[in-house]
A = this chain, B = another copy of it.
Amino acid sequence: MAGSIFGTLFRISTFGESHGKGLGVIIDGCPAGIPIDEDFIQHELDRRRPGQSKIVTQRKEADTVQLLSGVFEGKSTGMPIGMIIMNSDARSHDYSHIADKFRPSHADYTFQAKYGTRDYRGGGRSSARETAARVAAGAIAKLFLQAHGISVFAYVSQVGNLQLSKSYEDIDLGLIESNPVRCPDPALAAEMETLIKAVRKDGDTIGGVVSAVVFGCPPGLGEPVFDKLHADLAKAVLSINACKGFEYGSGFAGVTMRGSEHNDAFYQDGGVVKTRTNHSGGIQGGISNGMPIYFRAAFKPVATIVQDQESVNEAGEAVTVAGKGRHDPCVLPRAVPIVEAMTALVLADHLLRQRSVGI
């Protein structure tokens, strides 16, 4: 139970380090009979892949997935689905200069404190490279959700101070993939791209916000008390590297509202119960109510910068950490498929959990 297993019924287990031989995931609990499109899994990995554009890290990885089990004649069998992604461009020598130094705001110090050892090459297991396994698993979850009419979208809604002011209702989700930033407002996306390039030129990094929306989720998903749907989504999303905050529905902005404004009035529309507003973010009492689910996730500027920084080494001595190595000036564009993957995994899990509630 070292924290690399996620989910209850649609459960994944992952392994792999940034500069080890490879990464992988096992999905235990994928239902039988789901058409498994391997190209789609690869497509999702390609959206997360390094080197996909000029505003992300230039590490060269094909991130080719091999599916080893659990699929027979094109469909899932109900058996564990094992997938591996071998590493190719693992320049371990790049990291010898920081072997005994703790990079500021990285996990070097905390890993050392926790385990008494660490694989320092590229951050080892603490590298966001780990998320490739999540995206592969999330692709399978998406295929399962798709069979139930549920779709998950994420997009970049803020980079630094550049903020998309529109809600999920007012944007064209078809434009998300139209630009390397993955912001569905092309004009704003262009500004964001310019900003990211400027930041990279400074050897610096910048944060932002990913917004997500889920359509087609039936009422009834999520559990009362601890395993509320939004609580599980929060954990899932905050487990992604660099994520610092999560809010759903009205979120932090809702705290200044009165109950009489914030409450979402119910009405009936063609036999379906709906709400006039959606401050609840599609979730009430921890359970989906059939309205779109939406949330926002804050990502800090990534810690790897090309500037010298003050730090200490394993002996506790003051040292300078030299800025070096490939990195993402802004993690947001690549965070989009990861947020989608984690969201899909939570929904797939709760879709299965929901089956056990009635006689």
**A268 lies within 8 A of chain B by Cβ:** yes
**Is the beta-carbon distance between B124 and A79 smaller than 8 angstroms?**
yes
CA distance A355 to B357 in the complex (A): 10
**A149 lies within 8 A of chain B by Cβ:** no
Stretch in A166-174, A179-187, A299-307 touching the partner: A299-307
**Is the beta-carbon distance between A125 and B79 smaller than 8 angstroms?**
yes
Chain B residues in 8 Å Cβ range of A285 = 106-107, 110-111, 126, 241
**Additional pairs, 14, CB under 8 Å, beyond known A2-B30, A33-B115:** A72-B124, A79-B224, A104-B265, A104-B275, A110-B222, A209-B252, A230-B244, A234-B234, A239-B286, A247-B252, A263-B305, A265-B311, A267-B318, A355-B356
> Given A78-B117, A273-B316, A359-B31, are A161 and B264 neighbors across the interface (CB < 8 Å)?
no
Chain B residues in 8 Å Cβ range of A23 = 68-69, 82
Stretch in A3-11, A37-45, A48-56, A57-65 touching the partner: A3-11
**Is the beta-carbon distance between A109 and B238 smaller than 8 angstroms?**
no
**Is the beta-carbon distance between A116 and B358 smaller than 8 angstroms?**
yes
**A113 lies within 8 A of chain B by Cβ:** yes
Chain B residues in 8 Å Cβ range of A230 = 238, 244
Question: What's the nearest-Cβ distance from chain B to residue A8, in Å?
Answer: 6
CA distance A79 to B124 in the complex (A): 9
Count of chain A residues with a beta carbon within 8 Å of a chain B beta carbon = 155
Chain B residues in 8 Å Cβ range of A276 = 310
Name which residue of chain B comes closest to A327, CB basis: B259
**A17 lies within 8 A of chain B by Cβ:** yes
Name which residue of chain B comes closest to A208, CB basis: B255
Query: How many copies altogether?
Result: 4
**Is the beta-carbon distance between A13 and B16 smaller than 8 angstroms?**
no
**Is the beta-carbon distance between A226 and B298 smaller than 8 angstroms?**
no
**Is the beta-carbon distance between B77 and A115 smaller than 8 angstroms?**
yes
Question: What's the nearest-Cβ distance from chain B to residue A62, in Å?
Answer: 17
Chain B residues in 8 Å Cβ range of A284 = 105-107, 109-110
**A135 lies within 8 A of chain B by Cβ:** no
Chain B residues in 8 Å Cβ range of A211 = none
Question: What's the nearest-Cβ distance from chain B to residue A232, in Å?
Answer: 7
CA distance A24 to B66 in the complex (A): 13
**Which of B106, B110, B117 is the one whose CB lies under 8 Å from A219?**
B110
**A216 lies within 8 A of chain B by Cβ:** no
**Which of B11, B84, B268 is the one whose CB lies under 8 Å from A1?**
B11
> Given A72-B124, A287-B111, are A245 and B247 neighbors across the interface (CB < 8 Å)?
yes
A258-292 with Cβ < 8 A to chain B: 258-268, 271, 273, 275-276, 279-281, 283-290
